[in-house]
């Protein structure tokens, strides 16, 4: 029925267009026909009289988890603005990843979609799946926020070496983040976060940069899994700069380090911050490649291990390692701290990354030569996964 209706409308439009072209041609006008496709409009230019008949390119939002934060009209009016490009990218990354995760659930579990608005400007879309058969908790968020950044948040940026004016400054930030806590201990946890930020100094100058990364936190070490994960990220990096993977892999190992435990949170991946080279568009394309590498780096691992057998001991170890995950996020993670400093912060979305269940035991140590001890050894001594034997 829908296809028949579309066809009838197209025939009607085609007739109008044909009549217009015929009349115009008989009057000696020169016309140019541009644009075809499902989401592309028709543009007719009457060169001799400078009259324009235009149907703007239509933005198809039906595949997103919810309506964009910015109005569709504004997004369509500013297709080349980096704020528009980033919002559309993160909406797509969120939707694609959520649909992949849902497809792996055995009981038809779905994400709860929570679109929220921020009084100070912008808002976000929080998608959470809890108590699934495959994923105990999975959260995939986007946020698109703007307004005035308070002195506390500015000070955090200045502490990282950013040359930013003091005081409250106008800002825009857009990003996507996700943390997946699987039910089966043989399936690793994944985290990723990709974001764009711009800030306006008091003289009107705009500073912009990108940040983000993807990292893996297994509970039991499977080296082939880790090599697949890292090789997928390296392939994404190599498309843009052959030095990126090694540089950002080390940055990831250094960043996701639980100092008071003397160990990394997981087996790493890539991480970068304050990326503002070589150009805005090239930096954006690099971030796009990294974000699009999440599904091929992780989904095959879930499919491979979601039905692996495990027992009580493996579950208890998983809960202990989740405790380490919580410690890092609440004590060290800059993104968590920045979110809490931002006016109008939405704490449910910020703390979405925490697992549904975790555990702490006093002075726990794994048995020597056990599979658990094998993992801890790697966490204390990060490896070069792609060049090790």
Residue 30 in this model has a pLDDT that exceeds 70: no
Cβ count near 176 (within 10 Å): 26
Report residue 345's pLDDT band, with 50, 70 and 90 as the boundaries. confident
Report residue 341's pLDDT band, with 50, 70 and 90 as the boundaries. low
Q: How far apart are CA 322 and CA 332, in angstroms?
A: 15
The whole-number pLDDT of residue 38 equals: 33
Regarding predicted confidence, which is higher, 240 or 202?
240
Residue 13 maps to a domain: no
Residue 215 maps to a domain: yes
List pLDDT tens digits, range 38-97.
Answer: 343 333 333 333 333 334 467 889 999 999 999 999 999 999 999 999 999 999 999 999
Domains contained in the chain, number? 1
Does residue 191 have an active-site annotation? Answer: yes
% of the chain with per-residue pLDDT over 70: 81
The whole-number pLDDT of residue 164 equals: 75
- Mean pLDDT taken over the chain: 85
- What are the E-state strand segments in the chain? 31-34, 43-46, 51-54, 112-117, 122-130, 135-149, 169-182, 189-200, 206-217, 257-258, 263-264, 268-275
Residue 156 maps to a domain: yes
The whole-number pLDDT of residue 348 equals: 85
Regarding predicted confidence, which is higher, 141 or 205?
141
Q: How far apart are CA 330 and CA 133, in angstroms?
A: 27
Average pLDDT over residues 285-306: 98
DSSP per-residue codes, 188-252:
PEEEEEEEEEEEE-TTS-EEEEEEEEEEEE-SS--HHHHHHHHHHHHHHHHTT-TTHHHHHHHHH
Q: How far apart are CA 85 and CA 51, in angstroms?
A: 30
Runs of H (alpha helix) within 31-135: 72-77, 82-104
Are 168 and 150 within 8 A, CB to CB?
yes
Regarding predicted confidence, which is higher, 34 or 337?
337
Residue 216 maps to a domain: yes
List pLDDT tens digits, range 129-168.
Answer: 999 999 999 999 999 999 987 777 777 776 666 777 777 8
The whole-number pLDDT of residue 44 equals: 36
Q: Which of 154-168, 299-313, 328-342 is modeled with the greatest confidence? A: 299-313
Regarding predicted confidence, which is higher, 256 or 54?
256
Q: Which residues contact 75 (CB under 8 A, 6 or more apart)?
A: 59, 68, 84, 87, 88
Residue 8 in this model has a pLDDT that exceeds 50: no
Residue 115 maps to a domain: yes
In the three-class reduction of DSSP (H, G, I as helix; E, B as strand; rest coil), residue 310 is classed as coil
Residue 32 maps to a domain: no
The whole-number pLDDT of residue 13 equals: 41
Residue 55 maps to a domain: no
Q: How far apart are CA 309 and CA 332, in angstroms?
A: 34
3-state helix, strand, coil in the chain (%, to 5): 40, 25, 35
The whole-number pLDDT of residue 53 equals: 38
Residue 271 maps to a domain: yes
Are 179 and 293 within 8 A, CB to CB?
no
CATH number for position 136: 3.40.1500.10
Regarding predicted confidence, which is higher, 20 or 353?
353
- Comparing C-alpha atoms, which of 299, 303, 296 is closest to residue 235? 296
User: Range with the lowest mean pLDDT among 19-23, 167-171, 208-212, 355-359?
Assistant: 19-23
| Identified catalytic residue from 14, 110, 181, 191 | 191
Domain range for residue 283?
A: 61-380
């Amino acid at each position: 029925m829908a296809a028949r209706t579309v066809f009838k409308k197209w025939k009607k439009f085609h007739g109008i267009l044909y009549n217009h072209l015929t009349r115009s041609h008989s009057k000696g006008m020169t016309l140019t026909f541009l644009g075809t496709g499902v989401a592309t409009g028709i543009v007719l230019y009457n060169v001799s009289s400078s009259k324009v008949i235009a149907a703007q390119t239509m933005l198809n939002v039906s595949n997103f988890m919810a309506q964009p934060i910015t109005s569709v009209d504004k997004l369509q009016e500013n297709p080349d603005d980096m704020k528009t490009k980033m919002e559309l990218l993160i909406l797509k990354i969120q939707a694609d990843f959520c649909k992949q995760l849902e497809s792996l659930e055995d009981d038809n579990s779905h994400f709860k979609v929570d679109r929220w608005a921020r009084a100070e400007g912008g808002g976000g879309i929080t998608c959470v799946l809890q108590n699934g058969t495959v994923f105990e908790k999975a959260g995939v968020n986007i946020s698109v926020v703007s307004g005035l950044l308070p002195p506390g948040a500015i000070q955090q940026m200045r502490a990282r070496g950013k040359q930013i004016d003091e005081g409250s400054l106008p800002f825009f930030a857009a990003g996507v983040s996700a943390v997946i806590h699987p039910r089966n201990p043989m399936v690793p946890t994944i985290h990723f976060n990709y974001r764009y930020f711009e800030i306006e100094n008091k003289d009107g100058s705009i500073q912009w940069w990108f940040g983000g990364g993807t990292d893996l936190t297994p509970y039991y070490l499977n080296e082939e899994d880790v090599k697949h994960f890292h090789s997928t990220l390296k392939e994404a990096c190599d498309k843009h700069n052959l030095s990126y993977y090694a540089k950002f892999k080390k940055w990831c190992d250094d960043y996701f380090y639980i100092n008071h435990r003397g160990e990394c949170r997981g087996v790493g991946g890539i991480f970068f911050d304050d990326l503002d080279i070589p150009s805005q568009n090239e930096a954006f394309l690099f971030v796009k490649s990294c974000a699009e590498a999440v599904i091929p780096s992780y989904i095959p691992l879930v499919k491979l291990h979601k039905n692996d057998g495990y027992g009580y001991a493996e579950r208890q170890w998983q809960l202990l390692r989740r405790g380490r995950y919580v410690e890092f996020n609440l004590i060290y993670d800059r993104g968590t701290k920045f979110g809490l400093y931002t006016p109008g912060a939405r704490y449910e979305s910020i703390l979405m990354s925490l697992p549904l269940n975790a555990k702490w035991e006093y002075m726990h140590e794994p048995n020597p030569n056990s599979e658990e001890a094998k993992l801890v050894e790697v966490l204390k001594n990060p490896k070069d996964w792609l060049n090790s034997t």
